[in-house]
Amino acid sequence: MEFSAEQIADILNGEIQGDSQSMVNDLAKIEEGQKGTLSFLSNPKYEEYIYTTSSSICIVNKSFIPGKDLPPNLTLIKVEDAYSCFAKLLELYGNLYEKEIGVEKPAHINETAKIGESVHIGAFAYIGKNAVIGNNVIIYPNTYIGENVSIADGTKIYPNVSIYHDCKVGRNCIIHAGSVIGSDGFGFAPDEKGKFQKIPQIGNVVLEDDVELGSNVSIDRATMGSTFIRKGVKIDNLCQIAHNVDVDEDSAMAAQVGIAGSTKIGKNVLIGGQAGISGHIKIADQTKIVAQSGIPSSIKKAQTLMGSPGIPLDDFKRSYFGFRKLPGLLKRVQELEEKIEALTKE
């Protein structure tokens, strides 16, 4: 679809500087812009590109004043906040790909399942017994929805997602392709012969409203009770959340984070990629954990942690500075030992 500068300015309540009929049909970063694309400039560090970009339209802050001549075919749309306005356009652009209402064939919907209004269910999806699908839910092809699962209004589930029996998904959640919700927790106990016996996992997983899961996220069902992912939590690709974990509101974690069983993550906690968090501990609200850190014990007050085991960031930096000096220090110790040995022989 094509949009004119005038149409975009109306959406964003912006001011046009240039050709109001300039047309765009795609989005691009300002340094990669081509004719017919729309870009934005928010960070001053990228300002140099606005003087050479081939984009047809660029969204800028009202405070932006060009330091030199702009490309002759570039139209500006000035707004209060270029970054948030461009994000709004990205959302609208994404909505162009929304699925049409209806059920594609073949798809299996159990006769006891309840399906809300304005729902899309893709081909080869499976909806189990007594499942409840809310209004405006989008379920992409090859998705498995087990028995007694409930999915609230406005949630979007991408292809090849599996949601096991009895799990609950809140409103306006997004679950990306390949994620598994409600697989068994890793529960085994060795018997008298040292053989592992499986402990039944009879709980479920509860995703509250506005949760987003990346692709290939695994969230284990509770042994008993529920594994909770609270309102507004954002989880990146390839994360593992073990049984009975509770991730509190508006926390976020980057790719490949692993959280062991029964750990409680506080509110507004930020966890960097590949961090590992031990089981049966608590992480205080607003804690920040740097990528690849390991957290073996509870964190009682908000702080930024780095390393394995994680220590306060400033302490880690000082320790690392000393660590980098170790080769030189070891060499000096060796030289001193040799001198002492020579003096002793004399």
Mean pLDDT of 23-46: 94
pTM of the predicted structure, to 2 decimals: 0.83
Mean of the per-residue pLDDT values for the chain? 95
What is the rounded distance in angstroms from the CA atom of residue 260 to the CA atom of residue 286? 19
What sign for the dihedral angle of Cα 41, 44, 46, 50? positive
Contact in structure between 86 and 59 (CB atoms under 8 Å): yes
Whether residue 250 has pLDDT greater than 90:
yes
**Confidence at 236, pLDDT banded by 50, 70, 90:** very high
- Which residue in 120, 165, 243, 280 is the catalytic one? 243
Whether residue 100 has pLDDT greater than 90:
no
What is the rounded distance in angstroms from the CA atom of residue 188 to the CA atom of residue 171? 34
Q: Looking at residue 321, what is its pLDDT?
A: 80
How many Cα neighbours within 13 Å face the side chain of 221? 21
295: tokens are 């957290």
- pLDDT, tens only, 42-55: 999 999 999 999 99
Question: Where is pLDDT greater, at 93 or 84?
Answer: 84
- The region of weakest confidence among 247-256, 270-279, 310-319 is 310-319
All domains of the chain, ordered by start, with CATH?
3-95 (3.40.1390.10), 161-309 (2.160.10.10)
Residue 108 bears catalytic tag: no
- pLDDT, tens only, 196-219: 999 999 999 999 999 999 999 999
